[in-house]
Amino acid sequence: MQRMKAVVIREYGGRETLRMEELPLPSIEEDEVLIRVHAAGVNPVDWMVRSGFLKGMLDYEFPLILGWDVSGVVERAGSSVTGLSPGDEVFALPDIQRNGAYAQFVAVKAGTVALKPASVDHLQAASIPLAALTAWQALFDAADLQPGQSVLVHAAAGGVGCFAVQLAKWRGAQVTGTASSVNEEFLLDLGADLVIDYSRTPFEERVRGVDVVLDSMGGEVRERSWGVLREGGVLVSIVGPPDEARAVASGVRARSVFVVPDAGQLTTIAGLVDTGVVRPCVTRVLPLEEAARAHEMSETRHTRGKIVLKVP
């Protein structure tokens, strides 16, 4: 039986639970493809799953391979798969309830896979799926953001935020982001119209009457955000359901998004990357064996853009 290298956990816990092992190659069903992984993106959900924080919401069997951002090459396709062939360069958001991409190979439903943007390499492509799809589904599916509207993006320099800024600007919105001052030029270059240094100025002193708030913080930041929305505006949270009663009391709407795979949306995003409208935001590339270091960096919640693991 062929085997592969993979970073796995065999129990919930700290970063020390991440271990490089050799495992059998995944088998595939007739509607799946086997992807030879070139790069895997790192997201907060990875260490939240590892720590057991999402236990009950997402339950897994061990050993578990983390990592739900992948870019690579189709190694094998199931008998019913059409439109994808061995050798195709692809990227995907795999099903988050299955083994992920911290490995040399991953089995993925073909319906979640899109052709990789031709203009970027695998390291850049692996930074895109989960974060860009989250931003897309929050702004367009949940908030129905329209040209000419205004949006406040919290943690705008983060993994989801950097795509949200670009996608909102592409849609024709007026974009304000909160971030530290060190990220101001970065965000202005991505298309933000205004960047508010959250450490110096309360955002509610600079922003009023916005149509959409993209909440990636929760807590007191979310609580302060209700008051900056116009009547009938919408707060979309990607960190848990907001309080519906609080929304009603504020005269606004509340939505919650937990990202789902969507090959069609990924294909559109790939086109935006290839035309230069959207660009990946890779801040650090580490080898697969340094997954624990990648988690340590991600857990600070102060990383610009995305961390990516290079898979041998």
The helix or strand, by DSSP H or E, that contains position 229, with its residue range, turns out to be: strand 229-237
Query: How does pLDDT run across 242-295, given as a tens digit for each residue?
Result: 999 999 999 999 999 999 999 999 999 999 999 999 999 999 999 999 999 999
What pLDDT does 1 receive? Answer: 55
Total domains in the fold of the chain: 2
Domain span at residue 299? 3-128+280-310
Residues 86 and 151 in one domain: no
- Quick one: pLDDT band at residue 68, thresholds 50, 70, 90? very high
Q: Considering the domain boundaries, does residue 273 fall inside one? A: no
Tell me the average pLDDT across 116-123. 98
Residues 241 and 188 in one domain: yes
Average pLDDT, the chain: 96
CB of 39 closer than 8 Å to CB of 309: yes
Give the burial class of 11: count Cβ atoms within 10 A of its Cβ; 0-12 exposed, 13-18 middle, 19 or more buried. Answer: exposed
Residues 24 and 68 in one domain: yes
What pLDDT does 57 receive? Answer: 85
What pLDDT does 104 receive? Answer: 98
Q: Which amino acid is at 284?
A: R
Q: Which amino acid is at 171?
A: R
Here the tokens at position 216 are 């990636």
Query: How does pLDDT run across 167-201, given as a tens digit for each residue?
Result: 999 999 999 999 999 999 999 999 999 999 999 99
Place of tokens 């061990």: 62
Q: Considering the domain boundaries, does residue 109 fall inside one? A: yes
Q: Considering the domain boundaries, does residue 112 fall inside one? A: yes
pLDDT surpasses 60 at 84: yes
Q: What is the C-alpha to C-alpha distance for residues 136 and 138, in angstroms, rounded to an integer?
A: 6
Q: Considering the domain boundaries, does residue 266 fall inside one? A: no
Here the tokens at position 279 are 């660009």
Q: Considering the domain boundaries, does residue 272 fall inside one? A: no
Residues 150 and 195 in one domain: yes
Backbone angles phi, psi at 228, to 5 degrees: -95, -5
Q: Considering the domain boundaries, does residue 19 fall inside one? A: yes
Q: What is the DSSP letter of 79?
A: T
CB of 45 closer than 8 Å to CB of 101: no
What pLDDT does 165 receive? Answer: 98
CB of 43 closer than 8 Å to CB of 131: yes
Q: Considering the domain boundaries, does residue 38 fall inside one? A: yes
Q: What is the DSSP letter of 25?
A: P
- pTM of the predicted model, to two decimals? 0.96
- Judged by DSSP in three states, 75 sits in strand
